[in-house]
A and B are shown apart, each in its own frame.
Chain A
Amino acid sequence: MAERFQTAHVDDLERVPSFQGVTWLPIRRRFGIQAFGANAFAGDAGKLVIEEHDESGTGGSGAQEELYVVVTGRATFTIAGDAIDAPAGTLVFVRDPEAKRKALAAENGTVILALGGTRGEAYEPSAWEWIAPAIERQDAGDYEGAAAVVREGLARLPDHPSLLYNLACFEARSGEGEAAIEHLLRGLEIDPKMRAWAAKDEDFDSLRGDPRFESAVAGEPEPGRTGA
């Protein structure tokens, strides 16, 4: 049975390298929160704390409202082109999922809490929570470990196209060609715009020449199927 309560200090949270070199301090995963997104990000002066992103793409959870809270230090946010000085105790709410946002630390030891959810929808965690630690393993050459992390994500978010795509990448790199083809085809079926990524992605070099791969990337029916 899950514990009734859990506590931690931000200084005690695990620090995970994430996209664009930011340092992610997982909160939602640590506590098993299921109702809203909650994470912290940390950095010293001049470092990126919140990666530049919007909340409209398939890589995130899609159309999230996000509230950032500067817990310690001081940050400079850039949102929709506006620069915002944000000392500790500042709350920054980004209503528009399309608005580009990022934050740099203006002092050492800056920590920003990020809270998110989608209005009118039950909360689902973002796929990047699995993709970021998987990429870390990939960068260390551990493709099997990376695939294992993404499979955990697919257990929580079945058929998520970005997770399927990344799983296919790691499987292709680790010599699991058949599994890679299967997961890539499923991902491209759900999100055909990833075909353009797959066409140029070096992770799939071992699959090139396979007619199933070539057909899927070209957007053609799978060889051997009539389409009826």
Chain B
Amino acid sequence: MDRPYEVATIDDLDKVPVLQGALTWRPVRRRFGIEAFGVNVFSAERAGELVIEDHYEREGPEELYVVLRGRAAFTLGDGEEVDAPAGTLVFVRPGTHRVATAREPGTAVLGVGAKPGEPFEPSGWEWGAIAFAHLNRGDEEEGRRVIEDGVARDPDSWAAQYNLACFEARTGHPEEALEALGRAVEGDPESVRRFATGDEDFASIRDDSRFRELIGG
């Protein structure tokens, strides 16, 4: 049986580089197996590093950020700057632009999220980020295990299929990449086209006419 509780400090959490190493993700939800809401820490070793990626959460989650250590500079909405020392809470509604960088070395920001009125479902983003971190370290086998685990968990998720397509394209499997990209397009053509157009993961198949057809280029 699972233990009734788990304990960790921020420093105990794994460090997973994402966004080509621009952001350091410290998985909390995955570590503890939390299924009721999304929760992660993002940390920076140096001032100026990203702690919350530039994004909007257009698909509906409310997000609460809590500066646990150091100091962060948030840019929110139409460009409002918010100085956020440790202990600052920042609540952002869906569809609102947000990004944050560290102002002090060692800054750590907790992010919590879920969609109102719906049971929580973990984002397929988690599986992709873990898988590509393995791939970037040269461990294709473990990366593939994680990416396929993400697809098995939610085969109808366009994001899971998109991640699989990226993985296949980067590991020299163009046919499989195009098949997965086709399934992703069936799920959410608008999002896939928005992301795939400039996604370097597809460099190996970008000149294939089937790729251009799928993303409407």
Could you list which residues of chain A lie within 8 angstroms of chain B, going by C-beta atoms?
Answer: 2-11, 27, 31, 33-36, 38, 64-65, 67, 69, 71-72, 79-80, 82, 84, 86-96, 98-99, 101, 111, 113, 115-123
Contacts and interface: CB of A to CB of B under 8 A. Distances in A.
B195 interface: no
A80 B7 CA distance: 13
A5 B90 contact: yes
Contacts of A72: 86-87
Given A7-B90, A9-B87, A119-B35, 20 more contacts: A4-B92, A5-B77, A5-B92, A7-B88, A7-B89, A9-B85, A33-B64, A36-B62, A71-B87, A79-B5, A80-B5, A88-B68, A91-B8, A92-B7, A95-B33, A96-B2, A96-B4, A117-B114, A120-B119, A123-B120
B91 interface: yes
A96 B4 CA distance: 5
B125 interface: no
Interface string B1-41: 01111111111000000000000000010001111110100
A74 to B, nearest CB: 12
B85 to A, nearest CB: 7
Q: Among the interface residues B2, B88, B89, which one has the most CB atoms of the partner chain A within 10 A?
A: B89
Contacts of A117: 36-37, 114, 120
Interface string B66-88: 10110000101100101011111
Given A11-B87, A94-B4, A4 B77 contact: yes
B117 interface: yes
Contacts of B69: 89
A80 B4 contact: yes
Interface residues of B, number: 53
Nearest to B35: A119
Contact of B36 (A64, A69, A82, A113): A64
B68 to A, nearest CB: 6
Contacts of A89: 9-11, 68-69, 108
A94 B5 contact: yes
A91 B98 contact: no
Contact of A34 (B3, B66, B68, B117): B117
A122 B117 contact: yes
A35 B113 contact: yes
A4 B96 contact: yes
B68 A33 contact: no
30 contacts: A3-B93, A5-B76, A5-B77, A5-B91, A6-B91, A7-B84, A7-B91, A9-B87, A27-B64, A27-B89, A34-B62, A35-B61, A36-B36, A36-B112, A36-B120, A38-B64, A38-B112, A67-B28, A67-B39, A80-B5, A86-B7, A90-B8, A93-B6, A93-B32, A95-B2, A95-B33, A117-B37, A122-B116, A122-B119, A123-B116
Contacts of B90: 5-7
A86 B5 CA distance: 14
Given A27-B64, A91-B8, A119-B120, A36 B37 contact: yes
A139 to B, nearest CB: 28
Contact of A69 (B68, B74, B113, B116): B68
Contacts of A123: 36-37, 114, 116, 120
Interface string B115-141: 111111000000000000000000000
B89 A90 contact: no
B105 to A, nearest CB: 15
Contacts of A119: 35-36, 119-120
Nearest to B41: A91
